[in-house]
Chain A
């Protein structure tokens, strides 16, 4: 990734990425909807989200990053932090 084109995180794009991974309508994903407690996201669906994040944003996720995949807001923070660290 060239340093002149900083990739920013578009929350709405992330919302639809998560909705797609969970096969849910976008309107089900509020910023703070808890993915595990409200939507019963299991470890396979979490992996689906994380692999799609890696493909879309060119970032590298660690095992420990999975625990931050709890809500859209948290995922926005996670991806932003990854992008900042890699730029």
Chain B
């Protein structure tokens, strides 16, 4: 059986850009309501407000919070709001698309002109906490509040960095590896409750998060050369898959890292 997203509620962590924003638009286009969390200074706040207005214009409800999604206080506030908004019915989709971390080498480069700064314990811990562990804590709090019913779908955005090395991406690579592990663990622990958990491994996508990675231009060009579709991944490619995989009532598709990259990872 399948259930349409019409009238459902989805929680998008990282709603103001990239995959989060595209998914919010796609879910709203199918009549789904959105609770979004983002963490931005004024400029990002303006674009988030515009997105919320666009979603409202489609006739759905949208509630955004400009708060740090990795903080316990944020979870507590947003989860209690969700309980009210969904009228006790809970969420259909939880999308974890948080890109905030330190992009730093582990050891100083041999070329001293490139700088000598290396990742600190604090930066490493922060990156893995935001981009990986926070998924577990949101699931714990949503479940405790009764907001993850049977049939709910949890998606976490991962990247090729979980198994590949890319310059200063080390702390984020560690976070992606941990995130995929959390997805498997949650999938098994949530199976008896009928909740599916999957990681989506997007191909290289020109999101604001990618542009912050040193050397991103060269990497994007190489990815474009590898992608058998002859183009890079767009946020909308991922959003379409989220809305598709959110419709089955079944939780049999669970615990996977699903490539949504047009075959980019297959070619040498």
Task: Judge if B267 is at the interface, Cβ distance under 8 Å.
Answer: no
Q: Are A44 and B41 in contact (CB under 8 A)?
A: no
**8 Å CB contact of A44 from B45, B66, B70:** B70
Residue interface mask B90-131, A partner, CB < 8 A = 1: 000000000010100000000000000000101100100010
Q: What is the interface size of chain B, counting residues whose CB is below 8 A from a CB of the partner?
A: 17
Cross-chain contact A61 with B41 (CB below 8 angstroms): yes
Task: Determine whether the beta carbon of B41 is less than 8 Å from that of A54.
Answer: yes
Judge whether A42 and B102 touch: CB under 8 Å. Answer: yes
Contact of B120 with A51 in the complex, beta carbons under 8 Å = no
Given contacts A43-B102, A51-B41, A60-B42, could you give 11 more A-B pairs where the C-beta distance is less than 8 Å?
A42-B102, A43-B100, A44-B68, A44-B70, A48-B68, A51-B39, A54-B45, A60-B43, A61-B41, A61-B42, A62-B41
Task: Please report the C-alpha to C-alpha distance between residue A60 and residue B100 in the assembled complex, in whole angstroms.
Answer: 21
The 9 A-B pairs with the shortest beta carbon distances in the complex, nearest first, are: A60-B42, A40-B122, A42-B126, A61-B41, A42-B122, A44-B126, A42-B123, A54-B42, A48-B68
Hey, which chain B residues are within 8 Å of A54, CB to CB?
41-42, 45
Chain A residues, Cβ within 8 Å of B39: 47, 51
Does A50 touch B at the CB level, under 8 Å?
A: yes
Residue B40 is within 8 A (CB to CB) of chain A in the complex: yes
- Chain A residues lying within 8 Å of B120, measured Cβ to Cβ, are 40, 42
Cβ < 8 Å to B, chain A residues 14-54: 40, 42-44, 47-48, 50-51, 54
Q: Knowing A61-B41, A61-B42 touch, does A47 contact B68 (C-beta < 8 A)?
A: yes
Answer whether A50 and B100 are a contact pair too, CB < 8 Å, given A40-B120, A44-B126. no
Task: Considering the complex, give the chain A residue whose CB is closest to the CB of B124.
Answer: A42
Interface string of A62-74 (1 = CB under 8 A from B): 1000000000000
A47/B122 in contact, CB under 8 A: no
Contact with A along B66-81 (1 / 0, CB 8 A): 1010110000000000
**How many whole Å from A56's CB to the nearest CB in chain B?**
13
B41 engages A47 (CB within 8 Å): yes
* Contact yes or no, A50 B41, CB < 8 A: yes
The answer for the CA separation of A30 and B102 in the assembled complex, in Å, is: 27
> Within B49-75, which residues are at the interface with A (CB < 8 Å)?
66, 68, 70-71
> In the assembled complex, which residues on chain B have CB atoms less than 8 Å from the CB atom of A59?
42
Task: Specify which chain B residues have a CB less than 8 angstroms from the CB of A62 in the assembled complex.
Answer: 41
Contacts of B43 in A (CB 8 A): 60
